[in-house]
Each structure stands twice: as C-alpha cells, then as structure tokens.
Structure 1
C-alpha cells in the first residue's frame, strides 16, 4: 500500500480510513493525501482530534463533546475550567505542531456501548454522545495518550497534519439546545500542503477586507441595535437607496415576464400554518402569539398568502400558468449564535414568487425561471451552479408524488443540457427543489435562489382550477426566489464588489465637490438635474480643505467624484474622477448627463 493512501471510497460511496479497511476494501477507490474533497474530510477530521489532544495537554481537565468536519473546516466543542480566548490559539497551535513531529500512529479499536458507558462513566459529555449512538458497538480512535469516541475516518499518523490554522473561538450550546450549558468551541482549517493553506489565508484576509458588516458601517448602509433586538437590521438612507434600486430593477423584470404583484399579511391564524404543515415541520422557527384567545403566527414564508389570493376567485386552465410575486417580509426564530450581519437575520424580505400551473407546464415554467436566474446572475457578474435537492426525512406527501416532482425538475434541466448536482435529502419539507449557488469575486460559494415544485400545498388547501373538460383539477405550485432575500443578496453583493457597486445600483452614484462656496449653486443645479433622471448624488461642501473633501468622497467608493470650480461654472462642464476606469477627464454637463443616463439603462434585466 502506498504511504500516500489515507483511505478509500467503498461501493456505497462511503469514506473508509486505512484503520478500518481490511480486506473489505479490495477494489475500492483509493483516497490519496491531497486536497480532494474526500482527502480533506479525513485530514480535517484528524486535525480536530489533534487539536483536542493539544488542548488536553495544555488544560488537563478538558472534557470533549463532538468535533465534526464542517464547510469552513472543523471544530471541537469542549469544557474546561479555564477561560480560553483568541489569544490562546497560538499556544494550542504550537502544541499541535509538537504532536505532529512525534509522528504518532492513529489507531482504532471497538468496544460495546455498555463498555463505553462504563469507560467514560465520569464524563457527562461522553455520556451525552453515547446517548445519540444507536448501535451497540462504538469505535474509539487513539493517538499517544489521547483517545476519543469517533466514527472516523482518520489519517493513519499525525505526520500528515502539518498544514493547519486555528481560526476562532466561539461559544456553543451543548447539543445546540439554548437551555443547555454553553461549551467552548474552537474552529480550524487544514490542507494537505503549505501552498493551499497560504492561499486560504490570503483569501481570508481579502474576505476580512470585504466583510459586509465592516463596509456596511463605513459606507453607512445599515445598522443593528441590540437594545431593539438581535438579528433585526435597520436600513440607513444610503442602504435604503441601494435596496430600492435593486427592488425596482427586479420589479420591472418580473412585470416584463408576466408576473402579477400581490401582497399578503405578515401574521395569520396558527390553524393556517397547521394546515400547511409549517406548524409541525417548522414550528420551532416561528414566532407565535395570541390575539382574542386564538393563536397566530408571524409568517416564516409567503406561500399561504398567495394560495388564498389564488382561491379568491375561480381560475380556468386558460389562466395558467399564473405568476404571483411579492417582496414578502418574513420572520424566523434563528438562534442567536448563528446570526451574522445581513447574511443570517430574524427578519428579512424574500423576492418571492409562486407560479400555479398544470403538470404539463412544469418544464417550460422551470426553464423560464432558470432563464431569469441566468439573466440576474450575469448582470451582477456571478458564476453559478445548480443542485437538485430531494426528499428530506421530515417531509409531507407521498413518495410517488415526490418522485414525479423530482423527475420533472431533472427532465427540465436534462432536455436543455443544463448541468446540475444532486443533494440527497436536501429538499423543502413540501417538495423537491433546484438550489442556485453563486460564486463571488474571491471564489466563495453562496446559496441564493431556489425553484421548488410543490404538489402538497395545493392538496392541503384544496386549490383547484377548471380544466378544459370542465372538471376540477389541482394545479401544481412552484415556489421561486431569484435572490433568496434582499438582505442576504445585498450582503453578498457588498462583499463581491468590496463596496464598489456598479453604477445602476450604487446608493450614491455621484459626489460633487465644489472647489469654493461660490461653486455650490452650480453643483446643486447639476444634482437636481440628476435627480430628475433618478440618479442619486451628494454635495461635499463642508468647511474642510478641498483635498480632504476629495479624500472623503473617494472613501465612499462612489462611481464618480465630480470637481466643479470657476472653469466648470464658466463652461458648464464637469471635471470627472471615474473610479472604475481609474481615469480623470472633462465633459460638458450635457454629455455627462447623457453618459450617466445610458449607464442607468444597463441595469435592466
């Protein structure tokens, strides 16, 4: 066996490490020590144990809960009597490197669950882990004098684990239960080689520079107020202008594609959510209250409102497909530990739509939505991939109905040569879906739009249309969002463009800097002319030096900074500093207005 083989993929697609393989992996695909997804999962899982071993040596009373691999690397949850902060990460890393140099073999052995309960009888965290293991046999991995319950897989020796970085310290509730004890969680990342780790570190530095929370404050886009409530964003004037421009572009695009605007209430009787299945499948994420002795729920989704609007009058097959869209405000009870700027909030607005159609119309409707997605993503410079998500464990509806809906999505993409992946079990509780994942300017992937086929809610709410033969039939309901939510998409846009938004959505498109007080009247005249063209501008005429005002204007990352002085007033011209072209030039005021009006038209989708 090659020294660079760290595991296998068996005929069921499962990862198996060399400690577990034995004869059962003859003919299995080999996993080499590299940066493939399978190898990184083994490397990162092993580095989590390496970190735990280092923590135990530094903090002997440490007790460990779980240490899984996650999208951003790995983490371990643990308890110790000492307070651990960011400043302690370097000390832990140093100890990890010492353990790597010892080239400790990583061994696996199995014992019965009853033996494990006895072995870890003085460790309540291990007992909590054991309660969640259904099998009667458990595996333990050991390296040096450290061992822990684990399914694996792991590399065969700590010598493979040179290239890692511990990234942050956080708090985590035991088992994710907000009423349980708060444990310490340390996150980390690991790669097979030094160059990959270096590239990742450079990307993280760039991500920090682009962080939408930092830029949102610097550019005065939005704010949060903990006294008012966590996860509830406030839009400042500049951010509200940015958001409004995005909403208007999408509004016009929807109308051109035959969508009708609707608006539903933000609160409905709880019985509605019981009928839909949200109460049973999503109730823990809802905000519930009581009015006049009856239970109500703030909507976490917009679908029920659109169903009730559809049912308000008799619909014919000639009306289908019928497309409703709404910028729907929804509320979801996210745990405080996962809130993250605009990316994860408790109130947000979806660019939501529901299309009612016949089964025969599913494919053309889905393809039209995919075209819409493509147009939006290209407009903002995003590359994207699509993924079909299938029936989850917690779902409503018959398997047969799910199969029909899932196959319709596959057929729609297959017949048009569109590539996609499969996310087994990742569907919504009421139907399969296509998820759109975009890639930003520094290579990060984000989940945004979605297309979901739903046979279940029309059945639950007895939704019907009159067919060509005058019989009553159920429509298919297609749930669809292009951006996902305005909050999340604006956060992604802010980081994608590093705050330098394209002209057509920039919150401030032009900043005028009059050289002296006598030039301010001309700047105001130009600003008013731009407002007539729906172009936002500001005038920096404060009592500061000219150079300082120009510096402050450029820090706002606006597309154009325009200087006006005696020559500009006299010739009715402008001295332009073009941020994107990194050029300075002079134009007549009329030509500048014409140039900006043309650029505004480029925002159409």
Structure 2
C-alpha cells in the first residue's frame, strides 16, 4: 500500500500499515516524536491501520491544536481508570463502576458514570492525584478489534456498554482500547501511552445527565475535565473562567438592578428595571441618531399579525419550530410576530412607489417572539421575547451595492463604538440540497455574488458558510469576540430578492413599467436583549459614562453639605446628565464603597472647602483604575462631562 505526505511525496508501506509505520519509514526521530496522525482529514492514532492511498500528516507536540482532541480523549480514559481505582480503594469490586459515554469536547472531556455511591466535588482532587499516578506509570494504549460477541462478553457486567454494542451495525468494526488493567469500548484515537499526556488538566465539576439524553432513562453522574498542552494555557483558561463568572450578566444584572426575569411573567421574558431601561434607551438613541443621518424613517408595527401574512412570507412554514401557536380571534387566526419584515413590506405596499422614491429605508425597534426550549434560555442572551433594531431597505437593483456598503459601514461603526473590534465576517449562502430555501436559483446566485463582491470591495476577510442563509436570502454576519475571547454572532445584513416576489411589491420605473425592488434586511445590534447581555459582560458592568445608568453620585462629607450637593445635582440634571446625592447617614468612606459596588463612574466628594469655592473632589472609575482630582471647579467639570456624554466616550 502507499500513502501521500503533505509535501506530495508517496510512501510505500506494508499492507495494513499504521501511522507509526509511516513515521518509522520517514525517520526514527519522527517515530519517537509522533503522537497521532491525520488520515484524509480524520484524526487517527499511531495504532490504527491507514486507508490505502490516504493523505497522511503526522502530529507531534509541535502541533498542539491538532493533538488536543486526542490527548483530551485519552485523559478521559485515564480519569475513567482513576475513578475505578478510587472505588476499589474503598472496598468496591472492579465491576461496581459502570460507564456511559465519554467524548472529548471543547477544552476537555466528560465521562458518564453509574457509581456505587456518588462522587462529591471534594473527591475530585483525589481523582486528579490518581490520574497523575497513572500518567507517571507510562502505560501503553493498545488497540484491539473484536467481534460483537467478544465485546458483549467483555462488558457483560455493564448494561450501558452492552446497549451501545448491540446498537452497532453488523459491518462496523468494534474496537477496544486498554491501558494497564483498564479496558473500554472506544473508536479512539489515543496517544501512544499515558506518559506522553500533558499534566495541565483539572476536573471541574459533576452533574446529572440522562443516559443517552432521554428523560425516561436512568440519571448518570457526569464528570467534566479540562486539559491543555501547557500549564500556562490551563491557567489562562481558569482565569478567564473566573473572569466570566465575575462578569456574568445575570449576576451583574441583579446587582446593578438592570433587569429581572419573573416566573409569574414567564420564562425568557425579561422585565427591564429603571436602570436597565436607561441603558436600553441610550442604545436606541445612539442608533436612531445614526439612522436619521442616513435617511431612515421610523415605523411602528403590531406584536401580532394575521396568519395569512406569515404564510405569504414563508415564516409560518419555515420557522414552525420557533413560532408560537396561532390564536383564533373571531373568525381569523393570528400569530405573535417572529419577524418584523412582513409588516415593513406591507408599509412599503401601502401606496404606489416610483423609482424616484427609492431607496425606502424603514426602521423599527420591534419586539418579536420566538419559542426557545426552557433548557436553552439564558438570562438576556437567549430569550423568548426580544427587540430587534430592525430595518428594511427597498432599493432599485442599481442602488443595491451602495446601500449594502452604507449598511456595512453603519454596522462596523456600531461595533467599534462599543469596543467590539475583533470581528470576523461570515457569508451565509444557500445549500442547494435543502428544500427550505424559497425563490429562483437565478435570484440566489445574484444575491450571493453581490454580497461577496461588496465585501471584497472594502477588503474585508470573510468565510463562506453554505447552508447558513436565511430561507429567503443570503447574508453577511458579524461574529465578534469579547474581552474574554468568546465569539458572538451579532449584526447581520441580508440581501433578499424573494420576499418582494412573494408579496408582489413593485415600483414604477423610468419606462413607466412595474419593476421589482430588492430588499436589504439589517440589524446592527441584532437583539437588544442579547446585545445588552454581551455588553454587560464585555464591560464587566463598568459602563462608559454615556451608557452608565447611574452616571454621577455626589457624596456630602457631612449633613451640612447636603444642600450644596443637591444644588450641583440639579445643575447636572438640567444639563442632561444623570446625577444623584447620597444623603444617607453612612460615613463618607461607606458612601464611596457603595458607589464603587454600584459601578457609578463618577463620584464627587463635597465638603466645606468645595462648597466655599464651588468645587468638587473627583474620584472616577476608568479601565486603568481609579483617577482622582481634587479641587476641580464645578463649571469646568460640568462642561467636561457634557462633552464626554455628547461624544459618547
């Protein structure tokens, strides 16, 4: 047999040769360093026979990203062995521990167990210690193909493995992997031996999980672990995890009194508290200003619509899993709106349009409703009722490119304003094999080509994701990274030739004939709820002055300074700034501490000297830490803060 190396060179190897055989044929040093391999793009271990003619690439410690899924899976087997030894040390027999599935996942692995007594969180360090012992034993991983009968005999004590084995098709090879006295049913791949595994791992938590995800099955105990090639990567991961907990928008939303979700109101239906409403209104004011400068017109539409509207658009048929059930009113059926676009189309169609009228840009902060399963709901980032910063542009074909580029510019401006500058661009196209897409192939090809052409014209790097388009048209999505390196899909721009056809909307051209407009769907924020949730975590609740719901707090040193503080607060409010006075009976240091906990960006301390000179002492929260200034003239500070609020910095 032969295989092909990355440089195109062919290796002649014995029949049923493994990746280790390939490494030896290249050189003894590579055979010593090899950890796993890629064959035709699939990860394989050094023990697995290679397919005839395969394209093979050897993986060493120089390829940590490629090796990670393999060593994480191998560490899952080491953990499973360690759990068995943990219970044997407590007097249980070798068959007392039964095991479900245990795959590698992002950053680590998990393993499901049926245990004689539950593992406690405080047991995890002991399991880790046993794992390190197993790694130090340098146990080889061995691979063995067996018949279904042999496999069933091997796991006669384990009903979960038995069920998996019986479900395998007759022509599917069954492989067992073993290190030391531990044997498991597994497809692999694995490292050559436990001694080659990294020790930068940590067991994180345990939880309950239904066997095979079915609530009618037994609940197993799932143990999660994470692992990285180096201790530095593990430390960074754990730091980011702790930082993510500190920034969790659900916790900060409660502490800063931004929003609440009340079970009596309903799951996934957030209530905006006064502070959160201010934050939301600042966002909408910012975008409305930008839209006004670009010629958008505001509209308002209902929260429900006749079911025939959604049948015409295709949302009823194509979003059936996400729609709430229709309701009957008199002799008509209505549905909570999952999208705003059909309403905007009907507004466009409410009067005749000439080619001179186009483009028509209709914008709305419209609340929509989509069904999400209870287990997928998450604070503000996954809800059932949310507001989109939605707009629909109706253009002539010759205007489409300019309008698309203007919309692209607006979306980039929005993200840059909030410090979301690490962005990748994703073009979602149609999957020709999927029947959900409406409209002609010609329209789809034209729309996809126009998005790619416009994106390339401004020099944006992009990837193409077939099958990621909306059912009515292709799109450009903005996938941003926050300060913790997490990716979020936020803004989107979609080009649509199909809904104008489905609703039969037209404009009168220069030739006096009816022509079909092209639609652009766009939403720079995407969902206000989701965007706010992401911003809370991105800023860690420390919002810049213009966004902060509570901008300024005046802290009198003594009760006799309350009147002066109230006077200054009134002047701030007259200037359009949000100011308050802490006239509580707390001491000054406690007032400062309370303002810090509330993450108010500007704290102004006033006493005898400040009142006498019409000054304030400023303590300000900044990304770099605290900034303090004493004896600042009030009028000077007022002008400074007004300008910062106006320019949104």
Scaled to the shorter chain, the TM-score interval is 0.7 to 0.9
Query: How far apart, CA to CA, are the structure 2 residues paired with 1:272 and 1:382?
Result: 37
Q: Partner residue of 2:18?
A: none
Is residue 2:244 matched to residue 1:244?
no
**Aligned counterparts, 1:124-163, within 5 A:** 127=163, 136-138=171-173, 140=175, 142-144=177-179, 145-150=182-187, 152-158=188-194, 159-163=196-200
Query: For 1:463, which of 499, 505, 514 is the aligned residue?
Result: 505
The Cα of 1:322 is off from its aligned counterpart by 2.4
The Cα of 1:439 is off from its aligned counterpart by 2.2
Q: Partner residue of 1:38?
A: 66
Query: How far apart, CA to CA, are the structure 2 residues paired with 1:462 and 1:53?
Result: 66
**Aligned counterparts, 1:247-326, within 5 A:** 247-292=284-329, 295-326=333-364
User: 8 Å contact 1:331–1:348 — kept in the other structure?
Assistant: yes
Is residue 2:97 matched to residue 1:97?
no
Q: Partner residue of 2:594?
A: 552
Q: Partner residue of 2:488?
A: 446
**Aligned counterparts, 1:408-487, within 5 A:** 408-487=450-529
The Cα of 1:493 is off from its aligned counterpart by 1.7
Query: How far apart, CA to CA, are the structure 1 residues paired with 2:216 and 2:313?
Result: 29
Query: For 1:396, which of 437, 441, 446 is the aligned residue?
Result: 437
User: 8 Å contact 1:448–1:489 — kept in the other structure?
Assistant: yes
Query: How far apart, CA to CA, are the structure 1 residues paired with 2:170 and 2:519?
Result: 41
Query: For 1:167, which of 200, 204, 222 is the aligned residue?
Result: 204
Report the count of equivalent residues. 600
The Cα of 1:545 is off from its aligned counterpart by 1.4
Q: Partner residue of 1:602?
A: 647
Q: Which moved more, 1:243-252 or 1:284-293?
A: 284-293
Q: Deviations over 1:459-497 (max 9, x none)?
A: 333333333333333333222221222222222222222
User: 8 Å contact 1:49–1:67 — kept in the other structure?
Assistant: no
Q: Partner residue of 2:263?
A: 226
Question: Cα 1:512–1:404, aligned 2, differ >3 Å: closer, same or farther?
Answer: same
Question: Cα 1:419–1:112, aligned 2, differ >3 Å: closer, same or farther?
Answer: farther
Q: Secondary structure at the match of 1:579?
A: strand
Q: Secondary structure at the match of 1:447?
A: strand
Q: Which moved more, 1:83-92 or 1:585-594?
A: 83-92
Query: How far apart, CA to CA, are the structure 2 residues paired with 1:116 and 1:468?
Result: 77
Question: Cα 1:8–1:364, aligned 2, differ >3 Å: closer, same or farther?
Answer: farther
Query: For 1:585, which of 611, 618, 630 is the aligned residue?
Result: 630
Q: Partner residue of 1:385?
A: 424
Tell me which structure has the larger Cα radius of gyration: 2
Q: Secondary structure at the match of 2:619?
A: strand
| Higher RCO structure (Cα 8 Å, ≥6 apart) | 1
TM normalised by structure 2 equals: 0.82
Query: How far apart, CA to CA, are the structure 2 residues paired with 1:570 and 1:183?
Result: 71
Q: Secondary structure at the match of 1:39?
A: helix
User: 8 Å contact 1:120–1:127 — kept in the other structure?
Assistant: no
Q: Unpaired segments of 5 or more residues in structure 2?
A: 1-22, 24-29, 88-95
Query: How far apart, CA to CA, are the structure 2 residues paired with 1:385 and 1:112?
Result: 48
Q: Partner residue of 2:93?
A: none
Q: Partner residue of 2:406?
A: 368
Q: Partner residue of 1:505?
A: 547
The Cα of 1:92 is off from its aligned counterpart by 4.2
User: 8 Å contact 1:328–1:350 — kept in the other structure?
Assistant: yes
Q: Which moved more, 1:422-431 or 1:486-495?
A: 422-431
Question: Cα 1:285–1:576, aligned 2, differ >3 Å: closer, same or farther?
Answer: same
Query: How far apart, CA to CA, are the structure 2 residues paired with 1:257 and 1:179?
Result: 56
**Aligned counterparts, 1:187-206, within 5 A:** 187-206=224-243
Query: How far apart, CA to CA, are the structure 1 residues paired with 2:38 and 2:502?
Result: 43
Q: Partner residue of 2:538?
A: 496
Query: How far apart, CA to CA, are the structure 1 residues paired with 2:113 and 2:501?
Result: 47
The Cα of 1:595 is off from its aligned counterpart by 0.6
The Cα of 1:236 is off from its aligned counterpart by 1.9
User: 8 Å contact 1:64–1:126 — kept in the other structure?
Assistant: no
Q: Secondary structure at the match of 1:341?
A: coil
Query: For 1:341, which of 358, 366, 379 is the aligned residue?
Result: 379
The Cα of 1:536 is off from its aligned counterpart by 0.9
The Cα of 1:582 is off from its aligned counterpart by 1.4
Q: Partner residue of 2:395?
A: 357
Query: How far apart, CA to CA, are the structure 2 residues paired with 1:471 and 1:438?
Result: 44
Query: For 2:100, which of 53, 64, 83 is the aligned residue?
Result: 64
Query: How far apart, CA to CA, are the structure 2 residues paired with 1:320 and 1:26?
Result: 57
User: 8 Å contact 2:430–2:467 — kept in the other structure?
Assistant: yes
Query: How far apart, CA to CA, are the structure 1 residues paired with 2:215 and 2:285?
Result: 40
Q: Partner residue of 1:5?
A: 34
Q: Which moved more, 1:371-380 or 1:50-59?
A: 50-59
User: 8 Å contact 1:387–1:436 — kept in the other structure?
Assistant: yes
Q: Unpaired segments of 5 or more residues in structure 1?
A: none
Q: Secondary structure at the match of 2:310?
A: helix
User: 8 Å contact 1:64–1:76 — kept in the other structure?
Assistant: yes
Q: Deviations over 1:26-59 (max 9, x none)?
A: 6534433356543333333444454455556667
Query: How far apart, CA to CA, are the structure 2 residues paired with 1:155 and 1:494?
Result: 42
Query: How far apart, CA to CA, are the structure 1 residues paired with 2:212 and 2:497?
Result: 34
Query: How far apart, CA to CA, are the structure 2 residues paired with 1:572 and 1:402?
Result: 66
